[in-house]
Structure 1
Amino acid sequence: MSTKSGQHGLVLGGGFAGILAAHVLAAHMDSVTVVERDVLPSRPEPRKGVPQARHSHLFMGAGARTADALVPGLLDAWTEAGAQLLAAPSDVAFLTKYGWLPRTAHDEFVLCCSRGLLDWVMRDRVLRNERITVLTETEAVGLTGDARRVTGAELRHRTSGERTVLEADFIVAATGRSSRVDDWLAPLGVPRIPVEVVDAGTAYATRLFRPTPEMHRDTPGIVMIANVTGEATGGVLLPLENGLWTATVIGMRGSEPPTSDEEFQDFAKRLSHPAMAELISAATPQGTARGFRGLLNRRLRFEKLPRHPEGLVVLGDAACTLNPSHAHGLTVAASAVAAMRAHLRRHGAVPAVAGRAQRAVSRSAVTAWQLSVNDDLRHPDVVGPRLSPMVRAQNYYADRVMLAATRQPDVTRALLDVIALAAPVTSLMRPRVLTASFRNAGGSPTDSSADPLFQPRGA
């Protein structure tokens, strides 16, 4: 259903979620304004408003396919610009606390490129739409309206300080992990939105490397999943465009990685397998190591409000921030926009549809929240609720599945589908997965010292 005839849409935030949302709104509105605090780069490069832009992004195929369904041709545009598609797990070596997953043939993949390239390609395609206008160097500092309906936003130009109010028929807040949407709604009379926080103190350090062409071509991606109950360290090595590698080391509270160039390599040597440290030691560093802190899980429970304010949908990290070591942020953002689009198509972009769309956005993040939080709650120094008996049981079964996945390719594929958010968690309760998981319940971990670079593919 289209509800044009002079309607104006407003998107606060010009990041990944915001640009996708603007594309969707433009199909229902005569005009859409995107408010962005930075100057958007004219080429693929990081920008200040995306603090995690310089770190490794594991964009699983399920999320990339969702984005491509929203913006047809986007996946081809990413690969034409230099992004690489790695079949998963055959081209990506996954190390769990029970050993390496077999590099078996599967139809999942990982899209590998810099965040700068990922965002730039999407902006280039979406902003060709003449209905969409971007206000750069401008930030939202509040919302207008009342508890019943949000009617616009108060904006401030970051250079001149000039303040204006921009009204709209439908507003999307995609203001990222530093969002203050809950603070902005309070003066309008909206009750305080319940907030959930789980913080295991996750921290990153990332450095780029240039391998030889042969190393770049022949080395699989490497994902070492952090064991939160042990030293709680992990790492990621992925190919980027222009023949580069991105290497990220991960630690949780008590084992945070250093950010100095000298200590980066030493920390990589502490990981549970030497492959990543050995590979980057043979490559040429490009630039300095960069750190990133404050990587917690936080979600606003809009569905618990007695009444959702009409005309406003909050999505992306502004609605649900996830520990990025679980690699779900981009997929959850794309899924949220897809959920919103489904309601706009069914009911039109009328203010009253916002509550339904917001509830759909919240539901789209439930699986990712459960996977991220259940795992982080295992950390002995986590800030959050106590592990409930239900979560303990879920974690016990997750461990059994992970152990079986190191030995049986069928279980590997089933587990990877859930990790990629391509299948619901309940799919791991299918008889073949149940049987394999409990058959291995008393088994011992596989040998994690085996080199993943020489494991056979396509088993």
Structure 2
Amino acid sequence: MDHAVIIGASMAGLLSAAALHRRFARVTVLDRDTLPTLDTHRRGTAQSRHAHGLLARGREIMEELLPGLTAELVTHGATRGDLQERTRWVHAGRALARGTSGLEGLLVSRPLLEGEIRRRVSELPGVEVRSGQVVTGLLSEPGRVTGVRLATGETLAAGLVLDASGRGSRAPEWLAALGYDPPEEERVTIGLRYGTREFRRREGDLDGDLAVIIAPTVETPRAGVGLALEDERWIVTMAGYAGEEPPLDLPGFTAYATRLPSPDLHELIMAAEPIGEPRGYRTPASVRRRYERLDRFPEGLLVTGDAICSFNPLYGQGMSVAALEARALLDPDLRPQAFYRRAGAVLDAPWDIVVGGDLRLPGVEGKVTPRVRMVNAYLERFHAAAHHDPGLAQRFLRVANLIDPPPALLSPAALLRVFRSGARPAEPALA
């Protein structure tokens, strides 16, 4: 049947629809929410009120799937620019050296980005986005999923069902009901808690820089992000691990900023006018479901986005990985095992980055291997050297933005520059 049904109008679901409309005559996207007609927050995207990063590779793939998207977002106030020139990247307690990376970034709020993508996808030939639709189960025949059942009793037949319903995906239990094993699940417990406030943006803030990203350190396991958004505002998100929660009241929020590994966000907050209401958010764990390891799987059912792997959102990888997984749907072979091999290859690098980075922090629960310890020790040296070396900083940003694989940081040329620099890791900051 030349019909694909996508469960969830998430970023993963919408981008998958942009890919699958090239493969199927009809694509129906079902979402349980009442989807907004304006670029506003919606209930099913609770994290949309917090800072969102769109990595360079993610923007490239979105542009490939929906040509002209970047330019359209810029007309609505998004800002594009080189990711190394006007961004303060603070890792291991030190700012990376400035330079020109050739990586194009896009600063845009989640509601504007998601709203524009939803509009563009809804206008694609053969695509229908339906809101207020709850999927309660799958239709099937031996060895194959053939459609979905809705809470209203309606059934939709489909040649492909794609689950993009997010962290709360019911695919594992649906598989079990059909007589298949659910996937193994890997979990790294982080106990991450967000606090976010917005501020009015003025000319001269941060000396003209447009973003600050402060990564946590072992000594100071707190992080902060400040991004320039449309409508002349800053969004500032701070986060603590292992259940530590940034206060949302302005005095407490400001005081918390003094406890980050760098003073940049505190200086911004002290000089800026607060606007809007503060918001909190919690992420208990990073979770990866190993669908690629299953040796039996029904035809006609695929899982993508947060339903297959949900990351610590501090790393800003979720939307970009969803875009890469959507691109994998363009391959002619949509058999589950073939798709999950491609998806696994997409996920391996960002998963290693997130898990390796988090497992070095106190309070994070997961398996710390000798390899993780070795890589983390090397990265401390790498970031110390990249504080002075724009070339190393660029190399790191290419990996962080999913352009190059992590082994690029361990190339002979990179190793030589790191150890020749003689730079030592930063002194521990006071927590």
TM-score for the superposition, normalised by structure 2: 0.95
Counterpart Cα distance in 1 of 2:103 and 2:272? 28
The answer as to whether partners of 1:199 and 1:295 remain within 8 angstroms in 2 is yes
In the other structure, the counterpart of 2:419 is 438
Residue 38 of structure 1 and its aligned partner are, at CA, apart by 1.1
Pairing 1:356-435 to 2, within 5 Å after superposition: 356-385=338-367, 387-435=368-416
Structure 2 gap segments, 5+ residues each: none
Q: Does 1:239 align with 2:228?
A: yes
- Equivalences, count: 430
Against the structure 1 CA distance between its residues 127 and 398, is the aligned structure 2 distance closer, same or farther, given a 3 Å change threshold? same
Q: 1:110-259 residue pairs with structure 2 within 5 A?
A: 110-145=105-140, 148-156=143-151, 162-215=152-205, 218-227=208-217, 229-259=218-248
Q: Does 1:34 align with 2:25?
A: no
> SS in structure 1 opposite 2:192?
strand
Give the Cα separation in 2 of the matches to 1:183 and 1:257: 36
2:134 aligns to what SS in structure 1?
Answer: strand
Of 82, 86, 89 in structure 2, the residue corresponding to residue 87 of structure 1 is 82
Distance 1:66 1:448 in 2: 38
Match in the other structure for 1:454 = none
Aligned residue among 260, 267, 270 for 2:259: 270
Structure 2 contact 219–428 (Cα < 8 Å) conserved? no
- Specify whether residues 399 and 425 from structure 1 end up closer, same or farther in structure 2 by C-alpha distance, changes over 3 A only: same
2:190–2:283 Cα contact (<8 Å) kept: no
The answer to which of 52-61 and 373-382 deviates more is 373-382
Residues 239 and 246, structure 1, Cα contact 8 Å, conserved in 2: yes
Task: Using the TM superposition, give the Cα deviation of residue 408 of structure 1 relative to its aligned residue in structure 2, in angstroms.
Answer: 0.9
Shift of 1:446: 8.4
Distance 1:271 1:153 in 2: 48
Q: Determine the C-alpha separation between the residues in 2 that align with 1:325 and 1:419.
A: 12
Q: Give the letter aligned to residue 153 of structure 2.
A: R
- In the alignment, the residues of structure 2 paired with residue 217 and residue 126 of structure 1 have an alpha-carbon distance, to the nearest angstrom, of 38
Instruction: Quote how far apart the aligned CAs of 1:443 are.
Output: 2.6
Percent identical across equivalent pairs? 33
Q: C-alpha offsets along residues 34-54 of structure 1, whole Å, 9 cap, x if unaligned?
A: 001112211211111101100
Q: Which residue of 1 aligns with 2:312?
A: 323
Aligned partner of 1:302 among 265, 268, 291: 291
Q: Which moved more, 1:319-328 or 1:251-260?
A: 251-260
Contact kept in structure 1, 2:220 and 2:429, CA below 8 Å: no
Q: Aligned-pair distance for 1:179? A: 1.8
What root-mean-square deviation, in Å, do the aligned CA atoms of Structure 1 and Structure 2 show?
2.0
Per-residue CA deviation, residues 295-321 of structure 1 (Å, 9 max, x unaligned), is 521011011111222111111111110
Q: Alpha-carbon deviation of 1:242?
A: 0.9
The secondary structure found in structure 2 opposite 1:231 is coil
Match of 1:22 among 17, 23, 33: 17
Check whether the contact 1:33–1:135 (CA below 8 A) recurs between aligned residues.
yes
TM superposition outliers: structure 1 runs of 4+ over 4 Å: 446-449
Partners of 1:295 and 1:324 within 8 A in 2: no
The structural deviation recorded for 1:253 is: 0.8
SS in 2 for 1:291: strand
Paired AA for residue 145 in structure 1: S
CA distance in 1, matches of 2:306, 2:226: 24
